[in-house]
Amino acid sequence: MKRRNADRMGNFFMGLGLIVMVGGVGYTIVAEVSQFNLPQFFAHGAIMSIFVGALLWLVGARIGGREQVADRYWWVKHFDKRCRNDNHRPSH
């Protein structure tokens, strides 16, 4: 798959995942709070859609190549043991 197509497909899946997550949260809130008498069965399914949306988001990030954590993040650079350049390790 060409890089441009991978970026587009990754962006599509990330966007779809975001829409599914927001839609699931929105339906759950509307079903619980409003007077529309929406079926509670679908409200439980909407909670599951949050996890499905997160999975779609991760698939899109994997396809688009955005799943790696960059070293420019201060917390990761200074406190994550995998990213630190410590040559002074205690001998056990």
Domain with 78, as residue range(s), is: 3-87
- Residue 92 lies inside a defined structural domain of this protein: no
Round the average pLDDT of the chain to a whole number and report it.
79
* Structural domains of the chain, count: 1
- Of the candidates 25, 15, 30, 29, the one whose C-alpha atom is nearest the C-alpha of residue 49 is 25
User: Residues in the chain, how many?
Assistant: 92
Q: Is 84 helix (H, G, I), strand (E, B) or coil?
A: coil
- Residue 80 lies inside a defined structural domain of this protein: yes
More confident residue, 30 or 76: 30
- Residue 16 lies inside a defined structural domain of this protein: yes
CA–CA gap between residue 30 and residue 17 (Å, rounded) = 20
More confident residue, 76 or 2: 2
